[in-house]
A and B are shown apart, each in its own frame.
Chain A
Amino acid sequence: MTLRRFTKSVDGSIPVQALLYNDEDLFTSQDGVGIYDGTQKSPAHQSGVVYATTHRLFYIDRQNELTCSFVLDLSHITQTEYYAGLFKSSAKVTLHLSGANASNGSVSSTPVVGSNDDTVETGFESWECQVCAYRNPPGLSPAAARICGLCGVPRSSMPEPVKLSVPSSNKSIRQEITSLSSSLPSSATASAPSVVSPRPVHVRKPSSIACPACTFLNHPSMRSCEICGTDLPRIQVGQPEMKSAPASRPTSPDTESDDEDGDGQTPKTRMMKLSFRKGGDKAFYAVLKRSLQGKAWEIKHPSGTPSNDTEFNRSGISGIIRTVEASAQNRDTHMFNAFQDLEALMVKAKDMVRLAADLNERLTASSTITSTALDTSRDSPTSSVTTLISPSHTEPEEATFIRSSLSQLGLQMTNTPVTLDMMKDERKWFEELAKELAGVLQGQGQSMSVGQKTTEGGMMKQRGIIALDEAWGGWNRARGVALIPPSTFLQVLPHLPAYTTPPITKRRFKSGLAVLHTPPYSSAAFAARLCGLLTLVGPKTTTEIAEEESMTVGLAGEMMGSVEETGDICRDDGSAAIREGREERGEIERVVGSGEQGLGEGMIVAGEVRWWPNLFLGYKWDGQLDYVSS
């Protein structure tokens, strides 16, 4: 029949699945279908199974599978109609067809499978892509066979490769794409790519040259673009016809010609009917419509997902299957994404750690400068104080949060304050605290001990003794927000000598003042040093001693008091002085600086106490000997 031109014979004994292209999917099938060629029954195709796929429509005859089966490309279908059955007339689906060039090969039903060994268009042999050299396998649908499976570049569709210049190949590709993506009526042209335009071998002078920069169509004899001045490409032999506007539909010679209809049908109404003698028409029709809408035979972008089949999803068993498939795919996608996130996180974690460490360092570095400004009574050099934080400059909460969170992650930061939740048990916590305190103190103590060794005669601005409250305050300031209560501080102190070199111990004075000191400042050592100093230099006041030992005057007074208690020194109260003219006790008028030592019997500061080595010890009376008067 004349409509046979639209269909191709297939070997129906082969299961339909094997006949499909690689990218073709089988949607549904329906038994008990008869075919009407035009308006008349096709005698050879009255009882068979119709299969609808993404690209084609199969009819496998029941009796004569081998001979009476055919396949119809859905691209030929221009329109469909549905006729629900009435009494004895069964439901029918009418397919309006056009664009007949697919039916090459034999009209009669010869048992030729895919009778297309002479053409390249159906893609039943592998072809090598010119761009990426990928060997495209056979078995793809005609549309898919037109683009390379690896790089997506459409095939230039000539068996012999034609050397195209780069811009012209772009144009040809573009033209192919535009022609292929045209709407359905012109899909006939899409199915016959090799017939239609891009014939790069044509030798003709183009009517206009498109500028590669601004796409303006220049006169063919122009050398440079009129608008933008870019040099125009040289016109070569083989330049195809240029089109700067969206492609107008290339003329398809087939649609107008060959009106081979012999059965009286007008060129327009070439149609085929499917008669559903056993029902199932509605579902089939829905699936068919979906396939037609999907237009899988047209070139789609690789990233295109079948998103427009959602409305067909819910019909029938295939719909259920599709739903299940979709949900499974969703799950897979989600899991994949989740794992990707996890892996990205793991990569970022290292970066995070490094960043936090860097931030920590910068925090401490920025605050050491200000912390020394706060220490008015300390003279330790800046370089020795490394871990104190000044609350006025940085955000102690954030710093502490960063550090505590880092330590909870298991990262040991050298400058973090130790809190209870970081440690497992309390005793270990104390020791860790002691270590930290040692670090805080040793930052000053280090320089102190170094300086102490040379203090015997020299004056170094270090100190090896510090009041307890000062130490506690400094430590808490260094910790920022995670503070240590005094009770904990006292508990930590016994562990301190284990972690400090020289060992720092606690000492309590008579007045209740408690200090931390290094061994040079222990009672005995200090007393010995002091006596040596006094015998060497002479009597000194407390302030002079304080200056000498570079400690606060109050602390020096405490130390002197403790030494005096041991009996190593004696005091000389300035209030016992006599002044010329003023002989009441303690009334000293002139006050001078206490640093002057050369004025032995001269002026002294009122109330100032001078320290002497203990003269009374072992004193032998050398005055007037007693005698007993008669």
Chain B
Amino acid sequence: MALSTHTTSTGYLLPSIHSAPPFFTQQPNPTTLSIATEQWIRLILGYARHRKLFFLRVEDAETPGNDWDEVLRNERINRKLLPTYLSYILDTMVKKNLAAYEPPKQTRAVLLHWRLPEEWAEALHEWATSTGQLNSILTFYDITDPPLESSLTGIPIPLLRKAIAILAKTNRAQIITIADGEGVRFFTGNK
């Protein structure tokens, strides 16, 4: 049976394995399962990167109609990813530090680290420098929703916080508590 790739409507190329029904079944064989899960993770992260999706919830597999439909379901072969399997995948991702339970202490929603927080921190600092907003106080809102699109647009606050925390370690950012919100100031730090 020949498997084919498929390009989603949003322009994402799905791998050929995605058109194989066994891909959507959690394999009992551990070896097979690990391989399959690996492919899933890669697919999910790739798709998240493509669509700039940060969160993945188990409910996304349970009910259609969300951003993940293109990946978690395959209408052509009449298969969908079962929530149990998705939960397993999330768990695996968290273990690999590719995701983090967000909010913490629960297992149904993760924050995808299709970009490591360190990378995010660098990107953040880059952006702050490139837009000339160093040494000025920025609110989170400024960062997540700037007038200009940037790669940081839409970054969830927790992730932003993490990135800032990382930058703070290296003295390149600083959290400032201001009225109704939080602000951050970026410095040019010498590493």
A contact set with B: CB distance below 8 Å:
538-539, 561, 564-565, 567, 570-573, 575-579, 583, 585, 601, 610, 612, 614-617, 619, 621-624, 626-630
Contacts and interface: CB of A to CB of B under 8 A. Distances in A.
B178 interface: no
Interface stretch (B12-20, B138-146, B157-165, B167-175): B12-20
Contacts of B62: 585
Nearest to A584: B62
B129 interface: no
A571 B25 contact: yes
B22 A571 contact: yes
14 contacts: A539-B1, A565-B29, A567-B32, A571-B28, A572-B22, A576-B24, A577-B80, A578-B79, A616-B17, A616-B39, A619-B35, A619-B39, A623-B18, A626-B46
Given A601-B77, A621-B39, 15 more contacts: A539-B21, A561-B28, A570-B29, A570-B32, A570-B36, A572-B24, A575-B82, A577-B78, A578-B79, A621-B15, A623-B13, A623-B42, A623-B43, A624-B47, A629-B151
Interface of B: 1, 3, 5, 12-18, 20-29, 31-32, 35-36, 39, 42-43, 45-47, 49-50, 62-64, 73, 75-83, 115, 119, 123, 151
Contacts of A564: 27-29, 32
Interface centre among A564, A565, A578, A630 (most CB of B within 10 A): A578
Nearest to B71: A623
A35 B16 CA distance: 148
A601 B78 contact: yes
A236 B13 CA distance: 138
A74 to B, nearest CB: 117
Contacts of B79: 572, 576-578
A601 to B, nearest CB: 5
A612 B21 contact: yes
A357 B128 CA distance: 105
A578 B78 contact: yes
Interface centre among A565, A570, A616 (most CB of B within 10 A): A616
B82 A585 contact: yes
A616 B24 CA distance: 12
B35 A576 contact: no
A624 B20 contact: no
B46 A624 contact: yes
Contacts of B5: 622-623
Contact of B81 (A576, A616, A621, A624): A576
B46 to A, nearest CB: 5
Given A571-B28, A576-B81, A585-B62, A616 B36 contact: yes
B78 A624 contact: no
Nearest to A610: B21
Contacts of A610: 21
A619 B20 CA distance: 12
Contacts of A630: 123, 151
Nearest to B43: A623
Contacts of A628: 115, 119
